[in-house]
Structure 1
Amino acid sequence: MKDLTKPNSERQESMIAQYGYNTKKAMMSLHFLLFLVRFHNSGFKGFQDAISYEGSDREFMLGLKHGELSLDEFKKIASSNEEIVLQLEQSYYGVPLDKEANYYLKNLLQTLVKNHLKTI
């Protein structure tokens, strides 16, 4: 979250000028934190439900991406969720590898890295 106000491209510079921070990167950061909480809450069984958003949850995430929260509001939400995730960390170590979830996570990570590299 430290680099939400440092642009790597003209597009990011424009977004930061408009909203005060990189709202897309903020949304992705929160998406990842919430995924960890939601996947844990599903007993490590509901990968698709944990990674997807519908209804008001989806609207909230899109609102974040479109600058509806200030940077301070985002930081409070992200910090709160980060604390929750850190409390769940140990429970992730005891879960056997789920091949389907591993496949989706690898694809998600590859996509995130590719998208990030495009902004450099």
Structure 2
Amino acid sequence: MSEKVFTTSELKELKEFEGRQVVLVAKIGSENYNLHDETSDEDYRIYVLPTFEDLYGGKRYVKSVTSETVDYSVHDIRDLAKQLMKSNINFVEALFSVDLTVKHDVVEEMLKMRESIAKMNLPYFYDACFGMFHNKLKHFESSSRESNRYVVAYGYDTKAFMSMYRMMDFILRYEANGFSSFVDAIRYSEEERAYLLSMKHGRFTKTEAENLIQLMKDKVQGVKPAYKGQPFQSETETELNKLLFDTVKNHIQH
């Protein structure tokens, strides 16, 4: 018997996932940046509270489901805390999602402090973004597979190019607004959207793309001191840890 794959609407209505209480359902990816188009996937991240069995066995539940209509991954809420404290932009964005289904008070509290969470560890945040850029760069440089529709259409992976540009641009935009607004740095206006999507749709030759990425990389290196000079926000870490600890504790006790 095949496993049931939930639709987007069903995901938002879920109260439990395999016996674990759902606390948050967040859409991730291109729509959060206003860069979605007809080729974009529906991708969600779901967080659940652990069961007593999970705690007793030292288990952190995780599951990924991929289908033709929607992809989603399910994570223990304790992992969200670790992900946020590592300042990974792909996990921080869940708190700023344009499609957020909140099912527990703990999430409401986290949303109140999301700007503080986003800039909790800016030196590490810079390194994490730069690391993701280099991972995309490796893919960009080696992407010649005939199965890659962007390579087939434009001669190189234009989607990876746009992703690299966006990652570098985010670092610049976040520093430019004084680390005051994560959402303003990550989300594009309609005019900006048109420019970035044109990258994905073959506006630049591969040589032009490589030159532009190098230019952005140089600019990002220029703001490195601004990130590295920011102190780690230990008060935010303590508050976040206590919030999630108390939530899990109360959930198990009741």
Shorter-chain TM-score above 0.5: yes
Between the two proteins, the alignment pairs up a number of residues equal to: 98
| Structure (1 or 2) with the larger CA radius of gyration | 2
The one of 142, 157, 162 equivalent to 1:6 is 142
Secondary structure (helix, strand or coil) at the match of 1:3 reads helix
Kindly indicate whether the alpha-carbon contact (under 8 Å) linking 1:5 and 1:20 is maintained by their aligned counterparts in 2: no
1:52 and 2:187 are equivalent in the alignment: yes
1:39 aligns with 2:166: no
C-alpha displacement at 1:23, in angstroms?
A: 0.7
Distance 1:44 1:84 in 2: 17
Structure 1 residue 71: Cα displacement:
1.1
Aligned-partner Cα distance in 2 for 1:89–1:10: 37
Q: TM-score, normalised by structure 1?
A: 0.71
Q: 1:84 to 1:5 in 2, by over 3 A?
A: closer
Q: Higher RCO, 1 or 2 (CA under 8 Å, sep at least 6)?
A: 1
**Which whole-Å CA distance do the structure 2 matches of 1:66 and 1:73 have between them?**
14
| Greater strand share, structure number | 2
Once the two structures are superposed, residues 2-56 of structure 1 have per-residue CA deviations (whole angstroms, 9 ceiling, x without a partner) of 43253386542x3212211101111100000000000000001121011111122
Q: 1:10 to 1:88 in 2, by over 3 A?
A: same
Partner SS for 2:142: coil
The answer on 1:19 being equivalent to 2:154 is yes
RMSD over aligned CA atoms reads 2.1
Corresponding residue of 2:229: 94
Unaligned stretches of 5+ in structure 2? 1-136, 237-254
* Whole-Å separation in 1 of the counterparts to 2:183 and 2:195: 18
TM-score in terms of structure 2 length: 0.35
Paired with 2:226 and 2:214, the residues of 1 have a C-alpha distance of 20
**CA-CA distance at 1:76 after TM superposition:** 1.7
Please tell me whether the aligned partners of residues 5 and 16 of structure 1 are also in contact (alpha carbons under 8 angstroms): no
